[in-house]
Each structure stands twice: as structure tokens, then as C-alpha cells.
Amino acid sequence: MSIAWIVILIIVVVLIVVVWGTYNSLVKLDERVNEAWSDITVQLKRRSDLIPNLVETVRGYAKHETEAIKAVSDARAKMMGARSVEDTAEADGSFVGALSRLMAVTESYPELKADKNFQQLSSELTDTEDKIQAARRFYNAGAKELNTKIKLFPSNLINNLVGHFKARDYFEVSEDEKAKIANAPEVKF
């Protein structure tokens, strides 16, 4: 074998190893993002499952607060019907807003706040909200890593060859929530 053939063989082997390694790293990142999205949906489902119990508990004490209760129920239905990351983020924003209004209503009912069932549900809801935030951060970090890898050389060439991996949307605050954040009230003491 001549030296030219050995060099060509080495170059081919190196190219195969680079393509193989890059493709496998894209697969791993894609699966990490899928796993993170699954974690979000599990936590959102858990929160949605807690809501009917919370609503019934509030309804027992605050019978005339039907508007806040209906808003939570409607937002829950919208959340359960969301399919894309963008739809889920928008539904989550609506849901959190409606839930905040419901929790504000409970402030008017000291006997409700003292109810053990309500306290337990509130505690579980707070814990779930923390888990949702952690899952969102994990998902967004994975989406960033995958999106970056798809755009970088040589991954972009390999992805173009297989055409398999797509950039992921971030799970962000809805436009309404961004506007509220931008126009936050000024606090003066």
C-alpha cells in the first residue's frame, strides 16, 4: 500500500468518526430536550390534577366567587388542550393569572385559609410550581444547547445531510406577561 492510500484511508476514517460522533451528540441532545419537555408536561398535569380539589375546597367556602372559579376551570381546560411549546406557555400564563386571582379571593376567607385540606393543596401547588420552574429551566437549557449545536460547524452540515433535528422553541413568558413585567408598578417607600 502506498502512503497516499494510507493517508486517504486515515482521512476517511477520521471523517466517519467525526460524522458518527456529531450525529450521536445531536441524538443525545434531542433526547435530553424531549425528556425535559416530558418533565414539564408531567408537572403541568400534576398541577392540573390538583386544581379540581382546590377549586372545590374554595367553592365550599366562597360560593359567590364563581367568576374566579370559572376562570381557573377555563384556564385549566386551555392548558390541557395545549400541544406546542408556544401554546403551552401561553396557556400556562393564563392559568397562573387565573390561579393568582383565585388565591387572592381566598384572602377574604380566613376560615378557608385555616382549612387543613386547603393548606395541604396550597402546599402541594407551591411545590409543583417550583418543580415546573425547574423543569422549564432544564428544558430551556437543553433547547439552547441543541439549537446551538444545530447551528455550529460541523454539526450543521451533518444535520443538513440527515435533516432530522429541528431547533426547539423556548418555554417563555407569554407576550401579555412580558408587557406586565415591562410595565411593573414602581414601588416607593
Grid cell, residue 39, equals 418533565
In whole angstroms, give the CA distance from residue 44 to residue 132.
Answer: 7
Q: Answer yes or no: is 145 within a domain.
A: yes
Is residue 111 domain-resident?
yes
Under a CB-based contact definition with an 8 Å cutoff, are residues 23 and 158 in contact?
yes
Whether 67 is in a domain gets the answer yes
Q: What is the CATH number of the domain that holds 104?
A: 1.20.1440.20
- The full DSSP string for 38-93 is HHHHHHHHHHHHHHHHHHHHHHHH-TT-HHHHHHHHHHHHHHHH--SHHHHHHHHH
- DSSP structural state of residue 175: H
Domain holding 95, by residue range, is 23-172
Provide the 8-state DSSP code for 135: H
- The H or E element containing residue 168 is none
Q: Is residue 177 part of a domain?
A: no
Task: Specify if 6 maps to a domain.
Answer: no
Asked if the structure places residue 188 within a domain, the reply is no
pTM above 0.85, yes or no: no
Q: Classify residue 16: in a domain, yes or no.
A: no
Contact 51, 72 (CB under 8 A): yes
Retrieve residue 146's grid coordinates: 441543541
15 in any annotated domain: no
Total number of domains constituting the chain: 1
Q: Which residues of 62-77 are buried (b: 16+ CB within 10 A; e: fewer)?
A: beebeebbebbeebbe
- What is the chain's pLDDT, residue by residue, as a tens digit (189 residues)? 689 999 999 999 999 999 899 999 999 999 999 999 999 999 999 998 888 888 888 888 777 778 888 888 888 888 888 888 988 888 888 888 888 888 888 888 888 878 888 888 888 999 999 999 999 999 999 999 999 999 999 899 988 888 789 999 999 876 666 565 555 555 444
